[in-house]
Amino acid sequence: MEENFDPVARTRANYYTPGSPVQFVCVELLKGEVSGDHAVCLTFKNISRVTLTALEIHFKCKGVDGVILCEDQFEYRDIEVKPGESFGMDDAVFVTQKAITSVDVSLKNVYSGKKVVHLDAIKRVRLPAPRRLSPELQKALEARMNRQGMKYMPQVFENGWYCACGSFHPKEEDTVYCSECGCDRILLQNALNTLLQPEKKEPAPAAEPVCPAQSEPDERTRVIGADPVPPAAPVRPAAPVQDEPTRVVSSFKAEPEAEATRVMPTPKLEKPASFEPVLDRAADDEGTRVIPSTRKEPVRPAEPEDYEEDEPNDARDSVAETLIRWVPPLTAIVCAAIALWGFVYYQFMM
């Protein structure tokens, strides 16, 4: 009597056998509609370039608390599996009424006609767990790729790559197309990178004071460190620029840090009682303000009105004037004399 079995659970393989022409894909648990028995079905995929005709495996089913319910050999005979095709999902390797919690599968021998590949001595490699996408990113990726089940982050490893559908493709398969969902690995990765770009927002750097452009290379910029100023303290306006030179007074104390050092016509200033003198600070201190100088070039000191400049160069100026007056005519006379002597020499002496 035949009985229908409904799928109960499906789990992907978390390891693979390097160099094998067959990839263990997943294990599926089915439950009978009438008897309630649990059936174990295994799915394999041909990742080679030849047609496979037989496969021998060793499996171990465990129940609650890790108790082994069954450990046996199973053979898939008289099959004809072409490259890229899956098989085994319709054959139950074990049926029991007890609950099954895990299934362990080892590949033994793979046949392609008379050619056989022995896999007993090859150590299996455990696969890293795929990374689950957020629900929002999953919906966006499914909409962009026009496919369902895009639950995982596409990843490329040394021994293969994960598709967004969760299937693993070992390097022996040598393909960029997923055999289960049909996605192109490169297009899938590009689509995901596009969706992740808006989420990679870096925090904006703190605004820094910008020094205004200077009109002359000799102009200096003065940096004054500013400690927190009481909000109620009034800000005194800067004094107008004077025509007299800057005076340096040893007893002068700096003004409050809310304004720049000013040039005053008289050093008779007093320090407000509520402020401390401003110390020299580096340009990178917190709250450092950059104030450009209001002077574009140094102011020359005014000369006293009763000062008369001496003229020590009057004698040299008279000599130069005399030379300028007599040198040209003397030069002309000398040149004329040389030319006349040369003419007479060639006419009468030669």
Examine residue 72 and state whether it is found in any structural domain, yes or no.
yes
10/106 same-domain check: yes
Examine residue 226 and state whether it is found in any structural domain, yes or no.
no
Task: Classify burial at 314, counting beta carbons within 10 Å of its beta carbon; exposed 0-12, middle 13-18, buried 19 or more.
Answer: exposed
pTM score of the predicted model: 0.54
Query: H-type helices in the chain, by residue range?
Result: 135-145, 185-196, 314-344
Final residue before a domain boundary, out of 196, 215, 242? 196
In this structure, the chain runs to a length of: 350
32/94 same-domain check: yes
Task: Classify burial at 177, counting beta carbons within 10 Å of its beta carbon; exposed 0-12, middle 13-18, buried 19 or more.
Answer: middle
Strand duo 15-16 + 68-76: pairing: unpaired
Examine residue 230 and state whether it is found in any structural domain, yes or no.
no
Examine residue 94 and state whether it is found in any structural domain, yes or no.
yes
Q: Residue 78 belongs to what domain range? A: 5-126
Examine residue 263 and state whether it is found in any structural domain, yes or no.
no
Examine residue 328 and state whether it is found in any structural domain, yes or no.
no
147/173 same-domain check: yes
Examine residue 330 and state whether it is found in any structural domain, yes or no.
no
100/140 same-domain check: no
Distances (CA, A) of 280 to 150, 223, 284: 61, 9, 12
From first to last of the 350 residues of the chain, give the pLDDT tens digit.
Answer: 577 888 889 999 988 899 899 999 999 999 888 888 889 999 999 999 999 999 999 999 998 888 899 999 999 999 999 998 999 998 999 999 888 888 999 999 999 998 999 998 888 999 888 899 999 999 999 999 998 999 999 988 888 999 999 999 998 888 888 888 889 999 998 998 988 886 545 555 555 554 544 444 444 444 444 445 455 555 555 555 444 444 443 433 444 444 444 444 444 444 444 444 443 444 444 444 444 444 555 555 555 444 444 455 556 677 777 778 888 888 889 898 998 888 888 777 76
Q: What is the pLDDT of residues 55-91, one digit of tens each?
A: 999 999 998 888 899 999 999 999 999 998 999 998 9
Examine residue 258 and state whether it is found in any structural domain, yes or no.
no
How many domains are contained in the chain? 2
| Residues near 154 by beta carbon (within 8 Å), at least 6 away in sequence | 161, 162, 163, 164, 185, 188, 189, 192
109/145 same-domain check: no
